[in-house]
Amino acid sequence: MKIKEIILLEEGNKSQVFLLKEGMFWRVYNQSAFLFTKYVKALKLTKKFYKVVDREMLYGGFPDTALTKVLHGTDGVFTVLEQQEKLIKLVLIDEQKYIKEAVFIEWFSELKCQVPQKKQLTCEALVRDIQAFSILESTPIESQLFLVQLQKQVHGFI
């Protein structure tokens, strides 16, 4: 599912958890992540800025192999509304547990966005990398790949 479709699912969501299968993992985004981590299971959440939609999104997930165990953990709090191959919709049973928008916004804003860090290149770091590389114990291909990596560092691609 594309990020634009996920935003449409999550906008205005106050009572549902949308589990989306992505590869070998099930993911939850934004409001679904809030409800999931509060009532089902703690997850490592990642906040990322998506250029395509010009906004930050929050997501977390778990492996497909844990799905049965996770769904058993929702008993009494959620009921399965719909189950498809790549989408499972859970809905809160208790209306008093619905998301209050102000609480969600505060929680969302407290989480930090991932910003890619550029590696600071220094001559000392290059010398250390070259000294650490054992050319006598490497194949010609490994040596060539090492040289390509060094060139990328010098040109600012890494």
CATH class of 3-110: alpha beta
- Between CA 151 and CA 28 the distance in angstroms is 39
The structure's pTM equals 0.69
Buried residues in 82-115 as b, exposed as e (16+ CB within 10 A): eeeeeebbbebeeeeeebeeeebeeebeeeeeee
Question: In Å, how far from its chain's centre is CA 70?
Answer: 18
26, 54, 45, 18: which is closest to 107 by C-alpha? Answer: 45
* Ranges in the chain annotated CATH 3.40.1170: 3-110
Contact 99, 31 (CB under 8 A): yes
**pLDDT (tens digit, 0 to 9) for every residue of the chain, 158 residues total?**
899 999 999 998 999 999 999 999 999 999 999 999 999 988 999 999 888 899 999 999 999 999 999 999 888 899 999 999 999 999 999 988 999 889 998 999 888 876 555 556 788 888 888 998 888 888 999 899 999 888 887 876 55
